[in-house]
Amino acid sequence: MKDRLMSIPEVASYLGTTERFPRRLIAERRIVFVKVGRHVRIPERALADFVAANTVQPVVSVGRRFGAVA
């Protein structure tokens, strides 16, 4: 299975951020990346894994309302 390698501008566009954010993720070793010569690429699967790992699910509370006294 081939995994598309994304450039920094492509990753930034995908995440809706500036290019500085993916560069920081790389510098802090918080995401998998590949060096191709002097170019840095992020595998599409690594980006999907990063997003999934940092997705926060909403809290669902049953039977409670704001202002209710327990």
pLDDT 10s digits, 32-42: 999 999 999 99
Q: Which segments of 1-70 are extended strands (E)?
A: 5-6, 34-36, 39-43
Following CA atoms 22, 28, 29, 32 in sequence, which dihedral angle do they give, to the nearest 10 degrees?
Answer: -10
pLDDT at 68 (0 to 100): 58
Residue 35, helix vs strand vs coil: strand
Positions in the chain whose pLDDT score sits under 70: 1, 63-70
How far apart are the C-alpha atoms of 52 and 12, rounded to whole Å? 16
pLDDT at 49 (0 to 100): 96
How far apart are the C-alpha atoms of 7 and 13, rounded to whole Å? 10
